[in-house]
Amino acid sequence: MSEHDKSAAPKIGLKSLFSWGKSETTAVSSNPADETPITVPVEEDALYWEEGNLDVTLPSLPTVNVPIIENPATEALIKSERATSEVVVETAQPATSVSEHSFFSRMKVGLTRTRESFTSGMVTLLIGGKEIDDELLEEIETQMLVADMGIDATRIIIDRLTERVSRKELTHSNGLYKALQQELVELLAPRVKPMQIDPNKRPYVILMVGVNGVGKTTTIGKLAKRLQHEGKKVMLAAGDTFRAAAVEQLQIWGQRNNIAVVAQSTGADSASVAFDALQSARAKDMDVLIIDTAGRLHTKSNLMEELRKVKRVLQKVDGTAPHEVMLVVDAGTGQNALNQVQEFDQVVGLTGLTITKLDGTAKGGVLFNIASRSHVPIRYIGVGEKIDDLRPFIAKEFVAALFQTEN
């Protein structure tokens, strides 16, 4: 990441801000115990399990009887958990039940807080045909930084705009307003790479990772329903073994959507769950296996090492697995989201991102910072609680919604 460690400030505006510093395929094993178990000390400051991620409440559907693959002890644990924890799961709806236009309208509403902190100020600055000068460009810089776009992304955009002004391509603020939107789309475009399920890799294994509280388990349910609607046979693995409620949540998703779930008892080795799930998915000829994992703080090395073990154990069954390692990030964490991307990428090698909760934050500008500082594609964004509010990321659509223009 040396390209981001430059200390040189941009040639224009907010120089003091920019000077702060950028600063082999293994034979299949029949026993996952071949891997030495990792002992994770149970300390209050070390455990960051994903709790309270259920941000949706919809009417119940009749339970569909489907096979739940689990350790016999799980049922008793689940009953015990129900006494102290209520699990709410979103009712399944067809992923394409809402038109694209309707989703775009909802996304514009969802981005209201980000728009208020960023584009509203831009409109005041740029609409009216003002002449472009250093002061105007400096004010644009300030607006971008306040919106959590980050120093690198801001510098890139301002440098590009300045160059266009110097070439006389832009002479008044109305043109600058349109050029700004174009440059923002260009910045995001390299990270727009929708997830493609390779039919030659069956099952296609998706390992979901992230810190606590980002909506990871809920995202898994939404993604599973989307893939199922596309005709894929999907299986889920309850790898968050530290919370019985997390296991129960996935099981309810499975029951209501006719999706099999692999689970073990609370406290079981998550790598063992992943191993059993992949073998089961192969035997049942599944198209996709989505593996949940416990939320963990990216600064805790012992918990991050557990993810490495899950990946190694999966490769004992399929040397190419996992085929997708997706990090779920809460947009509301702002610039800390970039730290999460970098740390998880270093440990498990990320292949995709899902940015959730864009509808509840003014920090949606963090997508631009992530795009400028990371190579990891942004697969999906979440802008609401409905099942079809998890959508593939489209740069032009996102910027249009941010500026309230027609896509």
Band of pLDDT at residue 49, cut at 50, 70 and 90: very low
Model confidence at 126: pLDDT above 90: no
Which pLDDT belongs to residue 101? Answer: 61
Model confidence at 51: pLDDT above 50: no
Element (H, E) at 367: helix 366-373
Band of pLDDT at residue 369, cut at 50, 70 and 90: very high
Q: Does one domain contain both 177 and 208?
A: no
Q: What are phi and psi of 289, to 5 degrees?
A: -120, 120
Q: Does one domain contain both 139 and 232?
A: no
**Cα–Cα distance, 62 to 154 (Å, whole number):** 51
Which of 65-79, 253-267, 282-296 has the least mean pLDDT? 65-79
Number of domains in the chain: 2
Task: Give a yes or no: residue 122 inside a domain.
Answer: yes
Task: Give a yes or no: residue 40 inside a domain.
Answer: no
Can you give the length of the chain in residues? 407
Task: Give a yes or no: residue 25 inside a domain.
Answer: no
Instruction: Check residues 327 and 1 and name the one with the higher pLDDT.
Output: 327
Q: Does one domain contain both 185 and 236?
A: no
pTM above threshold 0.95: no
Instruction: Check residues 381 and 25 and name the one with the higher pLDDT.
Output: 381
Q: Does one domain contain both 350 and 257?
A: yes
DSSP line for 307-372: HHHHHHHHHHH-TT--SEEEEEEEGGGTTHHHHHHHHHHHHH---EEEEE-GGG-S-TTHHHHHHH
Instruction: Check residues 33 and 320 and name the one with the higher pLDDT.
Output: 320
Q: Which of 126, 156, 191 is the last residue of a domain?
A: 191
What is the domain-level CATH number for residue 276?
3.40.50.300
Q: Does one domain contain both 242 and 213?
A: yes
Model confidence at 10: pLDDT above 60: no
Which pLDDT belongs to residue 237? Answer: 97
Neighbours of 217 (CB within 10 A): 29
Model confidence at 279: pLDDT above 60: yes
Task: Give a yes or no: residue 132 inside a domain.
Answer: yes
Host domain of residue 319: 204-395
* pLDDT, averaged across the chain: 78
**Cα–Cα distance, 213 to 118 (Å, whole number):** 26
What is the domain-level CATH number for residue 155?
1.20.120.140
Model confidence at 407: pLDDT above 60: no
Task: Give a yes or no: residue 43 inside a domain.
Answer: no
Q: Does one domain contain both 235 and 373?
A: yes
Q: Which of 157, 191, 225 is the last residue of a domain?
A: 191
Q: Which of 143, 164, 191 is the last residue of a domain?
A: 191
